[in-house]
Amino acid sequence: MFENSLWSEELFRETVGLVLGFIFFIGIGIFILRKKNMHLTAAWASFKSWLIAAPVILFVLGLANPYPTIFLTLVSIAAAKIFFQFTGMYHRTNFVWLTYLGLIAAGYLIHKNNYPIYVGLPMILLGLTCLIPIWRNSYKRMIQYIALTLLNFSFLWAFLHLGFIYNLEGGAFMLIYIIILTEVCDNFFLGFSRFFNRIKLASKITVKRSFEGFIASFVFTLLLAWGMRHLLPVRTEAYWMTAGLIAVFFGGLGDVTMAVIRRDLGIKNTGAFILGRSDFLSRLDRLIFVAPIFYLAMSYFQRIGL
């Protein structure tokens, strides 16, 4: 398991130490101040799960393939289950198991680094999903079931681009970089919006995001992208500015998109993520749009030698 792993590299160990140190330092601060006001109480409820999740994620990322790919695939299957549960489709086993098999196939293609076929997976799943009503000789609500199955798979197919990022040169470091950037950006966006919320964005969907919070997160995220640029294979402006802009403009889009679905269904979440608030799916929705766009941008830069 540890043979040829990144844990043998001093740079990776130092990076993990710095990341965990930062997380635990911030966590201690929020824990001490958690009773000062309701916003800090909410922040602690959301943050404490990462005190457990972050070490696990970093440990797996340091392992040699196929362990990171297996981990991401299992995470995507767990998230798919949550989606089927809150859309009321979990009892439709044909659609559920087809989605699971599709995600396993996605994981296999990531392991083989076969992106051309991976791109076609949503269309393949569409064809197979359309065969289910014929096989069952039923038409009732099948449009709804097919649409929700494809939506579920497409979200997680996009999320699994993290596996292709890992396969790039310096991929593990880039993966740590974009996850931290996206998570910090969106949390800073939400946190700042709690205190400065005069101009609301998408107020009918969520009252937690404001224009002031967006501007503040925009500035802070670009500064953070510059400050952590040593994790990128190339430290030029093209790399870190592109990463920062992707995190800013697409990091919250997945969260808001999932909020649309949840509000339309009249639900908030389906359980807790390890500890704290929100379910498993809500912890990875921020990467739904970030992962594929970041992968395409970074792979393009590496391909042209930028």
pLDDT (tens digit per residue) in 80-104:
999 998 888 888 889 999 999 999 9
Separation CA 178–CA 291 (nearest Å): 8
Mean pLDDT of the chain: 85
Same domain, 122 and 199: no
Question: What pLDDT does residue 125 have?
Answer: 96
Q: Which of 167, 202, 229 delimits the end of a domain? A: 167
279-293 CB burial, b ≥16 within 10 A, e <16: bbbbbbbbbbbbbbb
In a domain, 157, yes or no: yes
In a domain, 60, yes or no: no
Locate tokens 């076929």: which residue?
Answer: 117
Q: Which of 34-48, 136-150, 263-277 has the lowest mean pLDDT?
A: 263-277
CB 183, CB 286: distance < 8 Å: yes
CB 209, CB 190: distance < 8 Å: yes
Same domain, 271 and 206: yes
What count of other Cβ atoms lies within 10 Å of the Cβ of residue 9? 13
Locate tokens 């969520």: which residue?
Answer: 206
Question: What pLDDT does residue 116 have?
Answer: 95
In a domain, 17, yes or no: no
Same domain, 123 and 187: no
pLDDT 10s digits, 139-190: 888 999 999 999 999 999 999 999 999 999 888 899 999 998 888 887 777 7
Same domain, 218 and 306: yes
Q: Which domain holds residue 143?
A: 65-167
Same domain, 149 and 192: no
Question: What pLDDT does residue 2 have?
Answer: 59
Question: What pLDDT does residue 285 have?
Answer: 84
Q: Which of 143, 167, 191 delimits the end of a domain? A: 167
Report the share of the chain in percent with pLDDT over 70. 89
Same domain, 178 and 297: yes
pLDDT at 124 over 80: yes
In a domain, 302, yes or no: yes
In a domain, 201, yes or no: yes
pLDDT 10s digits, 200-251: 777 777 777 778 888 888 888 899 899 888 888 888 888 999 999 999 889 8
Q: Which helix (H) or strand (E) holds 176?
A: helix 171-195
Separation CA 214–CA 220 (nearest Å): 10
Same domain, 199 and 247: yes
Number of folded domains in the chain? 2
Same domain, 254 and 190: yes
pLDDT at 279 over 80: no
In a domain, 34, yes or no: no
pLDDT at 268 over 70: no
Taking each helix axis as running N to C, give the angle between helix 237-265 and helix 211-227, from 0 to 180 degrees, rounded to the nearest 10.
140
Same domain, 124 and 241: no
Locate tokens 């990144």: which residue?
Answer: 6
Same domain, 296 and 200: yes
Q: Which of 135, 167, 199 delimits the end of a domain? A: 167
Tokens of 213: 């919070």
CB 230, CB 277: distance < 8 Å: no
In a domain, 206, yes or no: yes
Tokens of 191: 């946190």
pLDDT at 278 over 60: no
Separation CA 91–CA 190 (nearest Å): 35
Question: What pLDDT does residue 267 have?
Answer: 74
Question: What pLDDT does residue 244 have?
Answer: 92
pLDDT at 21 over 90: no
Question: What pLDDT does residue 133 have?
Answer: 93
Same domain, 194 and 243: yes
Cis peptide before 68 (omega within 30 of 0): no
Same domain, 194 and 281: yes
Taking each helix axis as running N to C, give the angle between helix 93-111 and helix 121-136, from 0 to 180 degrees, rounded to the nearest 10.
160
In a domain, 85, yes or no: yes
